[in-house]
Amino acid sequence: MKLSNRLLNITQGGSDGWEVFYQAREMKNSGVDVLELTIGEHDKKTDPSIISAMDASARAGNTGYAIVPGWRGLREAIAARVEKQTGVPTTYENVLVTTGGQAALFACNVALHDEGDVALYCDPYYATYPGGIRATGARAVAVPTRSSLNFQPEPGEIEKRAEGAKSLLINTPNNPSGVVYSRETLEGIARVCKRHDITLVSDEVYDTQVWEGEHFSPRALPGMIERTLVVGSMSKSYAMTGFRVGWIIGPEHVIKNLINLSTVTTYGVPGFIQEAAYFALTQGDGIEVSVAEVFRHRRGLAREVLAGSNAIRLIPSQGAMYLMLDIRATGLSGQGFAHRLLDEENIAVMPGESFGASTAGHVRVAMTIDDDLFVDALRRIVSFTEKQVE
């Protein structure tokens, strides 16, 4: 069977960046005790009240086909949440419910790109970004950032690659770096987008996990509401990763056309899951705060453990559930470090190279295991790192 070039080009025949994760899972499946700090999967699971709402909905018969754009009540709840957080007028007609944030990202790429179009994205990036762009036939072009600037994008670097580009994909709070883009950074990005008629895709799935500063949505900047698509999700803020509920916020005409894409792809999100999401969004911010507080606390623990290390530089962790560690003092690549750490200490972290060239010589640590185990893992990482530089 001959496969399409578009499919084969998703990873360009190379790595998808997840080898250490796969190896760690194989070790665990074979009975090895591995401390897994790889993926952004909460150890504190979905609030039982949300599961009860989903169960009640399903038992009441809400198990048939759901309306493709999303149940209006849920779309209105999402719109109200976005308007409250950003101050930007938003109605249900600005909202499309999707099967998670990943489907929302893919839909944005389909909406914006024709074959061969240039799509920019900031490096470091979530591992699926370039593949999601290539899957639409567009050409993925990375915009590098610098560890010395804590991976804040520099508008000048975007400007160098802006000519002819159709879109720019950003993520703040950022996975993998934990950095929150400043308003100054976002204003610079907006100027470039307006100057070159670039549509901004803003992935804001970590918008409730901010430890320093504040999250600012670029859709709220002057002249950006009509050229910005915002991706959101229940996954990270409500510990609902497996529910697969996300959304796109955009101009009404864009949403109307994206509904056609949902019709021929996912055909909507199951109704009982949508009702669970609606329930969660209408309970106030208590659940979101409790989910975020776990990572806020662990970030404090990490800063204490790492403060005394001369071999590791912690990139300021301002948000999200991750730490980015600069381990270049060891002389190892992120990949080499991560594989040796797994082999010698049974601790799994993600190589920085999984998220782009800008984070070479770094590793990402997910703050997703019990506090005591987390502190133990960090202490062992410090000890392991310092041995490499002796």
Beta bridge partners of 203: 171, 231
Strands in 246-249's sheet, in edge-to-edge order, are: 95-98, 246-249, 228-233, 199-203, 165-171, 118-123, 139-144
Q: Model confidence over 98-131: pLDDT tens digits?
A: 999 999 999 999 999 999 999 999 999 999 999 9
Helices marked H in 60-99: 72-86
Checking if the pLDDT of 315 tops 70, the result is yes
Report the pLDDT value the prediction gives residue 166, as an integer from 0 to 100. Answer: 98
Q: Model confidence over 18-42: pLDDT tens digits?
A: 888 899 899 989 999 999 999 999 9
**How far is the C-alpha of 143 from the C-alpha of 54, rounded, in Å?**
41
Q: Model confidence over 6-17: pLDDT tens digits?
A: 888 888 866 667
Report the pLDDT value the prediction gives residue 9, as an integer from 0 to 100. Answer: 87
Q: Model confidence over 207-241: pLDDT tens digits?
A: 999 999 999 999 999 999 999 999 999 999 999 99
Average pLDDT over residues 129-152: 96
Checking if the pLDDT of 286 tops 90, the result is yes
89, two tokens: 């007028």
Average pLDDT over residues 250-254: 98
Beta bridge partners of 11: none
**How far is the C-alpha of 31 from the C-alpha of 254, rounded, in Å?**
49
Report the pLDDT value the prediction gives residue 12, as an integer from 0 to 100. Answer: 82
Give the rounded percent of residues in the chain with a pLDDT score beyond 70: 99
Report the pLDDT value the prediction gives residue 41, as an integer from 0 to 100. Answer: 92
pTM summary value: 0.95
Q: Model confidence over 161-178: pLDDT tens digits?
A: 999 999 999 999 999 999
Residue 141's nearest CA partner among 124, 165, 112 is 165
9: number of Cβ within 10 Å: 15
Average pLDDT over residues 348-360: 95
Domain coordinates in residue numbering, the chain: 5-45+286-388, 49-281
Largest CA distance in the chain: 64
- Are 321 and 367 a contacting pair, CB within 8 Å? yes
Helices marked H in 198-285: 252-264, 271-281
Arch. (CATH architecture) of 49-281: 3-Layer(aba) Sandwich (3.40)
- CATH 3.30.499.10 holds for 5-45+286-388: no
- Are 321 and 236 a contacting pair, CB within 8 Å? yes
316: number of Cβ within 10 Å: 18
Residue 331's nearest CA partner among 340, 318, 343 is 340
- Are 318 and 212 a contacting pair, CB within 8 Å? yes
Report the pLDDT value the prediction gives residue 308, as an integer from 0 to 100. Answer: 82
Checking if the pLDDT of 57 tops 90, the result is yes
Checking if the pLDDT of 290 tops 90, the result is yes
Report the pLDDT value the prediction gives residue 67, as an integer from 0 to 100. Answer: 95
**How far is the C-alpha of 297 from the C-alpha of 211, rounded, in Å?**
10
293, two tokens: 């507080």
Residue 71's nearest CA partner among 277, 257, 264 is 277
Report the pLDDT value the prediction gives residue 18, as an integer from 0 to 100. Answer: 84
Question: Mean pLDDT over all residues of the chain?
Answer: 95
Report the pLDDT value the prediction gives residue 14, as an integer from 0 to 100. Answer: 67
